[in-house]
Chain A
Amino acid sequence: MTGTESFLSGRAAELRRAFDQSFAEAIQVNTSETIDFISIRLAGDLHAIRMTEIAGLFADVKITPCPSPVAELRGIAGFRGTLTPVYDLAALLGYPMSSGRWIVLTKGGGLALALDEFHGHFRVERAALASQQGSSATQHVREIARQADQALPVIDIPSVVAAIKARAAAASSHKEH
């Protein structure tokens, strides 16, 4: 038996054991003050989004392009039976337009944000958050989450949604006039 085969067998056994362990152990509800984030990558930089600010994560969703005065609008996609406008998050934050494979559905905003890469999930203590007084380029980032020796800017989704809606309203009013 080679080293690679033993490694693979050991890894499979570990996974199987962890999976079985999760059913064997008693359910422990986390009572501490923690906050769940998903980490994403925009133009190569890691960012964090609060999971409480999004309604879902999707991949490879078909987006139908449609004309809009807002340049960051990639199109319209259907999520759980609802047509939702999809905006490019990187473009909204001042980065170049992304490929948009991954999409997060904002909670209560009625719109979705497309992004380059979903990196993963992480959970930090509330104390690990630090406020960020940003410039205009980081107007939607107000906190920094420290995780595994990294400082990830936390994107304020409601702020982004508000900005989109403001711009949409401005464009709509400009159109009506």
Chain B
Amino acid sequence: MDRHWTFGRKIVAGFMLVLAFTVVIGIVASISLRDVVASKDNVINVNGPLLVTAERLQTLHEEQGNALRAYLLTSSSENFAAIERTRADFSADLDHLKSVVIAEEGRRMVEAIKQAEDEHRKVSDQVVAMRRANAPAQAIADAFTNQIVPKREPIIKAIAAFVQRETQRLNDAQATSTDAASRAIILIGASAIAAALLAGLVAFFLTRSLNRQIGAAVRHVQSSSAELHSAANQQATGVKEQVTSMSEINTTISELLATSRQIAESARRVAQISEETTSAARSGDGTVERATESITGIRRQVDLVVGHMLELGKKSQQIGSVLDIVTELAEQTNILSINATIEAAGAGDSGKRFAVVADEIRKLADRVAVSAKEIRTLIDDVRSSVNTTVMATETGSKAVETGTRQFADVATVFKQIAKLVATTTEAAREIELSTKQQATAVEQVNIAIVNVAQATKETEASAGQTIQTASELATTSRDLLRLVQAKSAA
């Protein structure tokens, strides 16, 4: 039996199986009874009447003999009529037998009766004719004894043989009918026992299957109810947490709403500031362009300064060359004065005046040398300053060049800033609009959250109801399990 069949389907299938067996038993019983009935009918309608007809043939033959004797004694018409009537009845019965008997043996025995009867009738007719002719009684009696009586024996024997045959056939038919009835009784009883066993088996398997299925289903229901109970508890807990969370969400959304409004206000201020920044950036762009022109002028001036400084360096170098000559001249002068002093000292008194002059010249040369050293120092300072200035100026020139490029970059950046600020303004307006929409949406969300909180409370109540239902379901499943499995339930 399919495990997936439903409860009702299994019961219907069991009943249908039992019903089918019942029908089969009924059909078998009907067939058996029909055979029994047919056998009995055959006994009653065929063998019985044949035996009766055969026995009536004996009776009619006896009546015919009696009537013949009476007629031969009395010669009355009534007796003759009785003879005719018995003959007619005999012939009718014999014809009936000829039409009814089918078996060859029977037909041959009937034919023998008929032939014996015909011979008997022929002899009887001759004796009757003698009686009508008023033949002597002795002659008639002799004729009767010699002619008729010998003809009666074959008839009686043939009829007796036929009666014996029909009696035997009746007995056989009765025995056959009895056997058929016995077989029918045994078959019906066996079918009934088989049906009872089948019904028991069906009931057993149906009960076991139903117990198994229903028990499993009930256990499953118990398990499910336990899980449902647990889930409902969790749901209740979750719903409580959800209620708390909803409250927090509600608070958060309120803060979010306030924040959205602040953002909208900030975005509006940003848009306003962005517009001001745009005008400032445009003004800054013009300022940068003017500054770029100024820096270009400064660069030209710096180039001029560098040129002048380099020229000054060259002049300083030329001065240094001249000063080298002056220094050398002073040194030579000093040498000359020293040598003059030496020579003057060697000239004695006449050289003293010359020594004085030489001394003065030497002093002058010393001073010139000292001054040349100072000038050399100054020129070195000047050249160092010029170099430093040139380097600083070149650095400044590079800085100016860098500044020019940077100002160009700044100008580009200012233009980009202007564009970006315009974009920012647009974005800030969009943010303001979006934030207002967001605030509206947040209000709607707030309302929705309130509804959700209400739904959550209802869910909490529903969870309680679910817990109660799960408990009732568990109780019901236990009861149901106790109904289908008393031991298990116990």
Query: What chain B residues lie within 8 Å of A38 (beta carbons)?
Result: 338
Q: Are B352 and A29 in contact (CB under 8 A)?
A: yes
Interface residues on chain B, size class? 20 to 34
Query: Closest residue to A5 on the B side, CB-wise?
Result: B378
Stretch at the interface among A49-57, A69-77, A169-177: A49-57
Query: Closest residue to A38 on the B side, CB-wise?
Result: B338
Query: What chain B residues lie within 8 Å of A8 (beta carbons)?
Result: 375, 378
- The 0/1 profile, CB within 8 Å of A marked 1, for residues 373-386 of chain B is 01100100010000
Q: Does A133 contact B (CB under 8 A)?
A: no
Q: Does A166 contact B (CB under 8 A)?
A: no
The verdict on A51 contacting B342 (CB below 8 Å), with A4-B378, A27-B356 known, is yes
Q: Are B338 and A121 in contact (CB under 8 A)?
A: yes
Cross-interface CB contact of B371 among A15, A29, A121, cutoff 8 Å: A15
Cross-interface CB contact of A120 among B345, B357, B366, B371, cutoff 8 Å: B366
Query: What chain A residues lie within 8 Å of B342 (beta carbons)?
Result: 51-52, 54-57
Q: Are B341 and A15 in contact (CB under 8 A)?
A: no
Q: Does A59 contact B (CB under 8 A)?
A: yes
- The 0/1 profile, CB within 8 Å of A marked 1, for residues 350-379 of chain B is 001100110010111011100100110010
Residues of A27-64 contacting chain B, CB below 8 A: 27-30, 36, 38, 51-52, 54-59
Query: What chain B residues lie within 8 Å of A121 (beta carbons)?
Result: 334, 338, 341, 362, 366
Residues of A16-30 contacting chain B, CB below 8 A: 18-19, 22, 27-30
Q: Does B406 contact A (CB under 8 A)?
A: no
Q: Are B331 and A27 in contact (CB under 8 A)?
A: no
- The 0/1 profile, CB within 8 Å of A marked 1, for residues 178-190 of chain B is 0000000000000
Q: How long is the Cα–Cα vector from A27 to B352 in the complex, in angstroms?
A: 10
- The 0/1 profile, CB within 8 Å of B marked 1, for residues 60-91 of chain A is 00000000000000000000000000000000
Q: How long is the Cα–Cα vector from A18 to B331 in the complex, in angstroms?
A: 18
Q: Does A165 contact B (CB under 8 A)?
A: no
Cross-interface CB contact of B338 among A12, A27, A52, A57, cutoff 8 Å: A57
Q: How long is the Cα–Cα vector from A57 to B339 in the complex, in angstroms?
A: 6
Q: How long is the Cα–Cα vector from A36 to B341 in the complex, in angstroms?
A: 9
The verdict on A29 contacting B374 (CB below 8 Å), with A18-B367, A58-B335, A121-B366 known, is no
Q: Are A51 and B338 in contact (CB under 8 A)?
A: yes
Q: Does A11 contact B (CB under 8 A)?
A: yes
Query: Closest residue to A19 on the B side, CB-wise?
Result: B364
Q: Are A11 and B338 in contact (CB under 8 A)?
A: no
Query: What chain A residues lie within 8 Å of B331 (beta carbons)?
Result: 59
The verdict on A36 contacting B345 (CB below 8 Å), with A30-B356, A57-B339 known, is yes
Query: What chain B residues lie within 8 Å of A4 (beta carbons)?
Result: 378, 382
Q: Are B364 and A59 in contact (CB under 8 A)?
A: no
Cβ of A154 to closest chain B Cβ, rounded Å: 16
Q: How long is the Cα–Cα vector from A4 to B363 in the complex, in angstroms?
A: 24
Q: Are B371 and A56 in contact (CB under 8 A)?
A: no
Cβ of A8 to closest chain B Cβ, rounded Å: 7
Query: What chain A residues lie within 8 Å of B364 (beta carbons)?
Result: 15, 18-19, 22
The verdict on A29 contacting B341 (CB below 8 Å), with A11-B374, A15-B368, A18-B367 known, is no
Query: Closest residue to A102 on the B side, CB-wise?
Result: B335
Query: What chain B residues lie within 8 Å of A36 (beta carbons)?
Result: 341, 345
Cβ of A85 to closest chain B Cβ, rounded Å: 20
Number of contacts between A and B (CB, 8 Å)? 58
Q: Are A56 and B339 in contact (CB under 8 A)?
A: yes
Query: What chain A residues lie within 8 Å of B353 (beta carbons)?
Result: 27, 29
Q: Are A29 and B338 in contact (CB under 8 A)?
A: no
Q: How long is the Cα–Cα vector from A36 to B360 in the complex, in angstroms?
A: 14
Query: What chain A residues lie within 8 Å of B375 (beta carbons)?
Result: 8
- The 0/1 profile, CB within 8 Å of A marked 1, for residues 336-349 of chain B is 00110110010000
Q: Are B356 and A29 in contact (CB under 8 A)?
A: yes
Cβ of A39 to closest chain B Cβ, rounded Å: 11
Query: Closest residue to A58 on the B side, CB-wise?
Result: B335
Q: How long is the Cα–Cα vector from A19 to B368 in the complex, in angstroms?
A: 10
Q: Are B367 and A15 in contact (CB under 8 A)?
A: yes
Query: Closest residue to B337 on the A side, CB-wise?
Result: A121
Query: What chain B residues lie within 8 Å of A120 (beta carbons)?
Result: 334, 366
Query: What chain B residues lie within 8 Å of A18 (beta carbons)?
Result: 363-364, 367
Q: How long is the Cα–Cα vector from A8 to B373 in the complex, in angstroms?
A: 12
Cβ of A29 to closest chain B Cβ, rounded Å: 5
Query: Closest residue to B354 on the A side, CB-wise?
Result: A27
Cross-interface CB contact of B345 among A52, A57, A58, A59, cutoff 8 Å: A52
Cβ of A19 to closest chain B Cβ, rounded Å: 5
Query: What chain A residues lie within 8 Å of B360 (beta carbons)?
Result: 22
- The 0/1 profile, CB within 8 Å of A marked 1, for residues 384-423 of chain B is 0000000000000000000000000000000000000000
Q: How long is the Cα–Cα vector from A51 to B345 in the complex, in angstroms?
A: 9
Q: How long is the Cα–Cα vector from A28 to B360 in the complex, in angstroms?
A: 11
Query: What chain B residues lie within 8 Å of A30 (beta carbons)?
Result: 352, 356
Q: How long is the Cα–Cα vector from A118 to B339 in the complex, in angstroms?
A: 13
Query: What chain A residues lie within 8 Å of B363 (beta carbons)?
Result: 18, 22
Q: How long is the Cα–Cα vector from A30 to B345 in the complex, in angstroms?
A: 12
Q: How long is the Cα–Cα vector from A11 to B371 in the complex, in angstroms?
A: 7
Query: What chain A residues lie within 8 Å of B362 (beta carbons)?
Result: 121
Q: Are B357 and A27 in contact (CB under 8 A)?
A: yes
Cβ-closest 6 pairs across A and B: A22-B360, A57-B338, A29-B352, A56-B339, A27-B356, A57-B335
Given A11-B374, A12-B371, A55-B342, 4 more A-B residue pairs with CB atoms under 8 Å apart are A51-B338, A52-B342, A57-B338, A121-B334
8 contacts between A and B (CB under 8 A): A8-B378, A11-B374, A51-B338, A55-B342, A56-B342, A57-B335, A59-B331, A121-B362
